[in-house]
Amino acid sequence: MKNENYNLIKMLHNTLDDLWRLEKYYIRDAKKAKCKSCQKILENMRKDIKKHVNSLTAELGSHIKAKKLK
């Protein structure tokens, strides 16, 4: 596999892992603690991370369509 494709896949994996942790634990914990500022920060991070996931997914899709994912 070409290095640039590996990097995209690895970044997508890590980013999805971060998103999962935010949604599964961190936001829930901030809500339990009733910390509005933490909730706001974490929700903003979740939105940003989702944008990164979408960008990485789109780029991988373009590599697949161009038959560059090798």
Domain boundaries of the chain, sorted by first residue: 3-65
Which 3 state secondary structure label does DSSP give 19?
Answer: helix
CA 8 to chain centre: 12
Radius of gyration of the chain (CA): 15
Which pLDDT belongs to residue 5? 93
Task: Pick out the chain residues at pLDDT < 50.
Answer: none
What does the alpha-carbon distance between residue 10 and residue 12 come to, in Å, rounded to a whole number? 5
The answer to pTM > 0.85 is: yes
